[in-house]
Amino acid sequence: MVVVEKSDFEADKSPFVSKFQRFFESVYKKEIEKLAESYPEKRSLLVDFSELEKFDFKLADALLENPDELLSAAEFAVEGMDVPTLEEERFKPHVRFFNLPEDRKILLRNIGSKHLGKLITIEGIIKQITDVLPQLKMATFRCNRCGNIYRVLQSSKQLKQPDFCSCHHRDFTLLTEDSDFIDFQKIQLQEPLEALKGNEQPTTIDVYINDDLVNQVSVGDKIELSGILRLRPTKNQSLVFGRFLECNFLEETARGFEEVEITKEEEQQIRELAKDPAIYEKLIGSVAPAIYGHEIVKEAIILQLFGGVKKILPGNQSIRGNIHVLLVGDPGVAKSQLLQAANSIAPKSIYVGGKTTTGVGLTATAVKDEFGEGGWTLKAGALVLASGGTTMADELDKMNAEDRTALHECMEQGTISVAKAGIITRFKTDTSILAAANPKLSRFDPYTPFIEQVDLPPTLVSRFDLFFMIRDVLDRTRDSEIASHILRTHQAGAKLFKARLKGEKLKKSELEAINELVAPAIEPELLRKYIAFARQNVFPTLSKEAIEIISDFYVGLRERGKEEGTYTATHRQLEGLVRLSEASARVRLSDIVEEQDAERAVRLVRSSLKDVVTDPETGKIDFDMVLTGKTHTKIEGMRTILRIVKEKAQVSDRVTVEEVLEEAKTFNIEREKANDYINELVKKGDLYRPRHGLLMPAEVK
């Protein structure tokens, strides 16, 4: 005997079925007929909520308040309509509502118990997503005493068994093979980063999606969805429940800065600021005001946050507008502080690495875990979540190999690849990088080329538009200035804290003195909006004059390289110059990149090059150092040594290290250097030592 248990919903008792029927007949008849033609490939009827509201606002209200019953009623109503279907299969589509009223759009952090069982709309970015899993829909049970079979329709809550068998026992076995399943996927949704202020931590919520909604979205996607807030069954007898949203409708939304709300007055303030002749100084003064000096780095950070303009070329190729900045420096020179400061004013950003482990990695990863019910879960890292914004990557040198590869790919191609069970999935990312790293030997040595002192692959380093080397130099005047700044900052901070704690008011003069010292020229809140506004609305193009300045500087660099026999700059540097000038124009909300913008870009690039690609042995600017990790003189030197050994090996099979060192001297290579080069050539396998004190080239030619 087979008994089908009634579901919770009793259609004949619900007054809503006929109401929905009238609504569908008069407003959605055509859509339903079309859907029936392509059923079951397409199996959702999408209904604009505002249409329902117009037709019967009481019904619409009831849907929001009691979605469990009303969604069933709506589906029952569609099912009962007289439409021609192609397949034999029963026409039983989902009904999904979009465009819910504004007051149903709830911020993730504001979701509370009062929303339980209600239909709400939320927006967020997907942080984790599971593989598609089977979810029980129609469960088949067998009574262990008499063998009766029961079919029970499941909802998303707990497993529902028949109450009692007709033999008065309650002892069933679930027959999975005779049950029906639908596709299911679990998502962890996180608040959009641009909705967070400063360094706030984002809230998350789990979302369950099923059937035709699965596999529509992935990590890093920003989505808006509506659904019913439910309690998650807990395994133990706890009084506190988890919660999740059962999704009814979802759609991808644009990944802009829409969450940053800018009022008319604020826009006016921003436009005023942009006209201020001292705006660049004000902006620089607003980045980490408690940090003394480092103006050029702060200027670079400002331009990075405003960003260059992304270009789309015919044939769908694109050139990145993101500006990447690398800070390498001695410990304790405020690198981390600068990154944190940038994070607090960026409209959309994530800080990773260093001491504050937020649990977010850099790249996306696939793991098997509890969230995925034992199956695969795809987890988004910072580069994916901050897409469209900036990632602050601290202590880059301590990064694991996986993240390093990801960073490389992200900066080079604007994608991230994730390997999962042997299959590679690729994501688009569009993130600018502000990175900091310590030198290899913990302290900089001014006599060794930059690239040899950072533990980063040269190909990665060469992706940055600007690099700064921050050295902790002993300098009496500067030291005392910094010391006084730090001490006065601490003093002021303590005063403010005490006043706040005790509810006291500071004297006006005291407050002014503090403001003078550490208050940013522009409040962080307004600055975030300023940056978001500029990025969203201003897309400057190069003027003739700007082109001339950039081109002169670039050609000059290449010319000098040619004369000096070094390789100085690549087209990547040229593109970097353009991006920086565009960012500079954006600060003024100017549609045109003017001379002053190009000059600012040139000044920054020149300063950055001076730090990084100057060969300490010759004082020449040398890009080989960045591209290959070796200085030009070093490459030359190694080449010379190799040639010497090869020549000697032609005439003798006993080439001593001693005679090679002697000969190297005639090429102006000192013993010590020559020894270094020999060691390096041996390490690379170009030379080998047949016996102690002897050398042979790996191949004699």
Residues at the interface with Mg ion (CB under 5 A): 336
Closer of 328 and 514 to Mg ion (Cβ): 328
**207-226 b/e (C-beta count within 10 Å ≥ 16 → b):** bbbbebbbeebbbbbbbbbb
Residue closer to ligand ADP (CB basis): 471 or 485: 485
Binding partner at 482 among ligand ADP, Mg ion, none, C-beta below 5 to 8 Å by kind: ligand ADP
CB of 435 to Mg ion, least distance (A): 11
* DSSP codes, 447-496: TS-HHHHB-S-HHHHTT-SEEEEE-----HHHHHHHHHHHHHHHHHHHHH
What is the C-alpha to C-alpha distance for residues 541 and 581, in angstroms, rounded to an integer?
10
CB of 391 to Mg ion, least distance (A): 16
Q: Which residues contact 159 (CB under 8 A, 6 or more apart)?
A: 136, 139, 174
In whole angstroms, how far apart are CA 86 and each of 21, 350, 697? 22, 51, 78
The least distance separating ligand ADP from the CB of residue 330, rounded to whole angstroms, comes to 7
- Residue 112's binding partner among Mg ion, ligand ADP, none (Cβ under 5 to 8 angstroms by kind) is none
CB of 467 to ligand ADP, least distance (A): 15
485 binds, among Mg ion, ligand ADP, none (CB under 5 to 8 A by kind): ligand ADP
Shortest distance (Å) from residue 392 CB to ligand ADP: 12
User: Residue 474 in contact with residue 443, Cβ under 8 Å?
Assistant: no
* Residue 351: CB minimum distance to ligand ADP, A: 12
Q: Which residues bind ligand ADP (CB under 6 A)?
A: 291-293, 329, 331-337, 482, 485-486
| Residue 292 touches which member of ligand ADP, Mg ion, none, C-beta under 5-8 Å by kind | ligand ADP
Whichever of 198 and 331 has its CB closer to ligand ADP, that residue is 331
The residue (of 444 and 567) whose beta carbon lies closer to ligand ADP is 444
248 interacts with, out of ligand ADP, Mg ion, none, CB within 5 to 8 A per kind: none
Q: Which does 561 bind (CB under 5 to 8 A by kind): ligand ADP, Mg ion, none?
A: none
Q: Which one-letter amino acid corresponds to residue 236?
A: N
Question: How far is it between the farthest Cα atoms of the chain?
Answer: 106
Report the C-alpha gap between 511 and 496 in whole angstroms: 9
**Which residues make beta-bridge pairs with 318?**
312
Q: Which is nearer to Mg ion, 337 or 448 (CB)?
A: 337
CB nearer to ligand ADP: pick between 478 and 643: 478
Smallest distance from ligand ADP to CB 444, Å:
12
Question: Which residues, 6 or more positions from 237, have their beta carbon under 8 angstroms from its beta carbon?
Answer: none
Listing DSSP states for 80-101 in one string gives TS----SSSS----EEEEE---
Which sign, positive or negative, has the C-alpha torsion 641, 644, 650, 654? negative
Nearest approach, Cβ of 343 to ligand ADP (angstroms)? 12
Residue 560's binding partner out of ligand ADP, Mg ion, none, with CB under 5 to 8 Å set by partner kind: none
CA atoms within 13 A on the CB side of 276: 16
Q: How far is the CB of 175 from Mg ion (least distance, A)?
A: 59
Instruction: Report what 332 binds from Mg ion, ligand ADP, none; CB cut-off 5-8 Å by kind.
Output: ligand ADP
> Which of ligand ADP, Mg ion, none does residue 285 bind to, with CB < 5 to 8 Å depending on kind?
none
For residues 266 and 279, what is the distance between their CA atoms, to the nearest angstrom? 16
For ligand ADP, the closer of residues 354 and 414 by Cβ is 354
Q: How far apart are CA 475 and CA 268, in angstroms?
A: 44
Question: Of ligand ADP, Mg ion, none, which one sits near residue 375, judging by CB under 5 to 8 A according to partner kind?
Answer: none
CA distance 359 to 350: 12
Which residue's structure tokens are 């506190």?
240
In the complex, the smallest distance separating the C-beta of residue 386 from ligand ADP, rounded to whole angstroms, is 20
- Nearer of residues 181 and 292 to ligand ADP, judged by Cβ: 292
In the complex with Mg ion, the residue whose CB is nearer, 340 or 365, is 340
- By a kind-dependent CB cut-off of 5 to 8 A, residue 486 interacts, out of Mg ion, ligand ADP, none, with ligand ADP
Residue 334 contact, options ligand ADP, Mg ion, none, Cβ 5-8 Å cut-off depending on partner type: ligand ADP
Question: How many angstroms separate the CA atoms of 24 and 352, rounded?
Answer: 51
Q: What is the dihedral of CA 599, 602, 603, 607, to 10 degrees?
A: 180
3-state secondary structure of 589: coil
Q: What backbone torsions phi and psi does residue 96 show, to the nearest 5 degrees?
A: -120, 130
Structure tokens at 303: 């331009």
Q: DSSP assignment of 511-550, as one string?
A: HHHHHHHH--SS-HHHHHHHHHHHHHH---EE-HHHHHHH
Which long-range contacts (C-beta less than 8 Å, at least 24 apart) are formed by 555-561?
557/609, 557/621, 560/621, 561/621, 561/622, 561/623
> By C-beta, is 342 or 589 nearer to ligand ADP?
342
> How far apart (Å, rounded) are the C-alpha atoms in residues 341 and 297?
12
When the beta carbons of 333 and 696 are compared against ligand ADP, the nearer one is 333
For the bound state, the minimum distance from the C-beta of residue 394 to Mg ion, rounded and expressed in Å, comes to 6
Rounded alpha-carbon distances, angstroms, from residue 343 to 312, 321, 332, 654, 684: 28, 19, 19, 62, 42
In the bound complex, what is the minimum distance in angstroms from residue 384's beta carbon to ligand ADP?
A: 25
Residue closer to Mg ion (CB basis): 286 or 336: 336
Which CB, 77 or 492, lies closer to ligand ADP? 492
Contact 141, 161 (CB under 8 A): yes
- For residue 290, the minimal CB distance to ligand ADP (Å) is 6
Question: Of Mg ion, ligand ADP, none, which one does residue 366 interact with (CB within 5 to 8 Å by kind)?
Answer: none
Q: What is residue 498's three-state secondary structure? A: helix
Minimum CB distance to Mg ion, residue 337 (Å): 8
CB 647 within 8 A of CB 653: no
Closest to Mg ion by CB, 336 or 566: 336
Residue 32's binding partner out of ligand ADP, Mg ion, none, with CB under 5 to 8 Å set by partner kind: none
